[in-house]
Amino acid sequence: MLSIENVTSAYGRIEVLHGVTLHVDAGEIVSLIGANGAGKTTLMHAISGVQPITGGTIRFEGEPIEQRPAHVRVTFAISQVPEGRQVFEPLSVKDNLRLGAWTRRDADLEPDIARVCALFPMLKTMWKTPAGALSGGQQQMLAIGRALMAKPRLLLLDEPSMGLAPNLVDHVLSVIRALKDDGLTILLVEQNASAALAIADRAYVLETGRVTLSGTAAEIQTDSRVKEAYLGI
C-alpha cells in the first residue's frame, strides 16, 4: 500500500532523513521505533505531505504522491493523527469530528460518528464540550476519531500514548488492534516500544534519519540491540 524509497528531507540546510526506504502492506500494523530526534515525526509528515522531501519517492497504492500537497493526499485516504493531538480547541467534540470529514462528499456522517463514539464512548458524553477543555487522554481519543472520520485506508499514528495514564494507553492500543482487525492499515510511531511491538506485524528502527534494522515484530523484540536501547532489557 505504501512504498518509501530513498527518501531524504531537510529543514533548511540540515538533512534529517537520509535515504529512508520502507514499505507497509495492506492490512498491516507497521511500527516505527527510535529515539527522540531520530526523524520519526519528520517521516510521518513527509508521508502526509506536511513536510517536503528533497529526494526519493513516496508511492501510495503504486502512485507517486511526493509532489501532491497534503490536502490532496487526504483525499487519497491517508489520514494522520499528529503528535500532540492538535485538536481544534475552541470547537466542540462534535465539530472536531465533522471537520475530520471535510473532504468527504457523502452526506451521511452519522454512522461514522456513531462508530467513533462506540470506540471512544467518553466522547459522546462530552458532545458539546470545547476540545480544549478535554483531558489529554480525551483529546487523544478525539484526534484518532477525527482522523477516522476521513475514512482512511492508511492511518498514520504519531505517539498515540504520549502523556496518557496506563489504563488509557491500554484502551488506545486495543482500539488500534480493533481497527487493524477491521482492515485498516496503520503506520505507528510510538515511544512505548514494547507496547508498539506487541501489536505490530513488522517494525523498522530509525536512528539519526536512517533505517538501521527491520523485520517482523517478534524479530525486532528479540534483537539484543533493541532490547538494550528501547526495551530496557
The answer for residues whose C-beta is within 8 angstroms of residue 200's C-beta and 6 or more apart is 29, 30, 31, 188, 217
pLDDT over 90, % of the chain: 71
pLDDT in tens, 187-198: 999 888 888 999
Question: In Å, how far are 1, 2, 122, 124, 135 from 185, measured between CA atoms?
Answer: 8, 10, 25, 26, 28
Please compute the mean of the pLDDT values over residues 9-36 and round it to a whole number: 95
For residue range 129-184, list pLDDT tens digits in order.
Answer: 999 999 888 899 999 999 999 999 999 999 998 877 788 888 889 999 999 999 99
Task: Give the pLDDT band of residue 27 (cuts 50, 70, 90).
Answer: very high
Residue 206 has pLDDT above 90, yes or no: yes
Name the band, by pLDDT with cuts 50, 70 and 90, for residue 85. confident
- Written as one string, the DSSP assignment of the chain is -EEEEEEEEEETTEEEEEEEEEEE-TT-EEEEE--TTSSHHHHHHHHHTSS--SEEEEEETTEE-TTS-HHHHHHTTEEEE-TT----TTSBHHHHHHHHTTT---S--HHHHHHHHHH-HHHHHTTTSBGGGS-HHHHHHHHHHHHHTT--SEEEEE-TTTT--HHHHHHHHHHHHHHHHTT-EEEEE-S-HHHHHHH-SEEEEEETTEEEEEEEHHHHHH-HHHHHHHS--
For 1-77+152-233, give the CATH class: alpha beta
d(CA 28, CA 184): 8
pTM over 0.85: yes
Query: Of 12-26, 99-113, 137-151, which range is least confident?
Result: 99-113
Confidence class for position 29, pLDDT limits 50, 70, 90: very high
| pLDDT value of residue 183 | 94
Confidence of residue 106 (pLDDT cuts 50, 70, 90): confident
Query: Where do the domains of the chain lie?
Result: 1-77+152-233, 84-150
pLDDT at 50: 95
Q: Which three cell numbers stand for residue 110?
A: 452519522
pLDDT in the model for residue 105: 76
CA pair distance 67, 49, nearest whole angstrom: 8
